[in-house]
Amino acid sequence: AQTVTQSQPEMSVQEAETVTLSCTYDTSESDYYLFWYKQPPSRQMILVIRQEAYKQQNATENRFSVNFQKAAKSFSLKISDSQLGDAAMYFCASENQAGTALIFGKGTTLSVSS
């Protein structure tokens, strides 16, 4: 079965600093998709960034970028110039083989201090 592991239950960062959230996954597929989702307190989950496994280039979205290491099955999220609004729970997810479900990690709670 596919698994996604986030080994950091909590992380903290100061405003304007950079933080990296870790994620490893396990899949036997060669073509798959990886995601980072953000869930602010009491608010709905939203997509932060998405990576297609067949693309070598790491995805970037403004202050958010990933370090995708396919051989190591690692997919970390880097947040640059952290802002107070970045405080949330962050979930790493991979799509299952059939494309019918997302498999989520347990999440990392990110706190941002001024």
Partner 1 sequence: DTGVSQDPRHKITKRGQNVTFRCDPISEHNRLYWYRQTLGQGPEFLTYFQNEAQLEKSRLLSDRFSAERPKGSFSTLEIQRTEQGDSAMYLCASSLNRGAEAFFGQGTRLTVV
Name the site residues for partner 1 (rule: CB under 8 A).
Answer: 4, 33, 35, 37, 43-47, 50, 52, 91, 93, 95, 98-107
DSSP class of 91: E
Closest CB to partner 1 among 14 and 40? Answer: 40
Closest CB to partner 1 among 93 and 112? Answer: 93
**Distance (Å, whole) CA 69 – CA 81:** 23
Closest CB to partner 1 among 84 and 101? Answer: 101
**Distance (Å, whole) CA 92 – CA 16:** 23
Q: How far is the CB of 16 from partner 1 (least distance, A)?
A: 28
Amino acid at 15: E
Other beta carbons within 10 angstroms of residue 81's beta carbon come to: 11
Other beta carbons within 10 angstroms of residue 67's beta carbon come to: 14
Closest CB to partner 1 among 19 and 93? Answer: 93
| 47 burial level (CB within 10 Å; 0-12, 13-18, 19+) | exposed
